[in-house]
Copies of this chain bind each other. A is one copy, B any other.
Amino acid sequence: MSKNTHDSLLQQWRELESAHASVRESLERALEREHRLSLSEYEVLQRLAEQSDGQCRMQDLSSESELSQSALSRLVGRLEGAGYVERGVCDHDRRGVYATLTKAGREAQVTAAPTYIEVLGTTLGSPGVAA
Identify the A interface with B (CB < 8 A). Answer: 5-6, 9-10, 12-13, 16-21, 23-24, 66, 117, 120-121, 124
Query: Can you list 12 contacts pairing A with B, beta carbon distance less than 8 Å?
Result: A5-B121, A6-B117, A9-B117, A9-B120, A9-B124, A10-B120, A12-B120, A13-B23, A16-B20, A16-B23, A16-B124, A17-B66
CB distance from A71 to the nearest CB of B (A): 12
Interface of A is mostly: helix
Which residue in chain B gives the minimum CB-CB distance to A113?
A: B6
When all copies of this chain in the complex are counted, the total is 2
- Would you call A13 and B124 a contact (CB within 8 A)? yes
CB distance from A87 to the nearest CB of B (A): 25
A12 to B19, CA, bound (A): 12
CB neighbours (8 Å) of A6 from chain B are 117
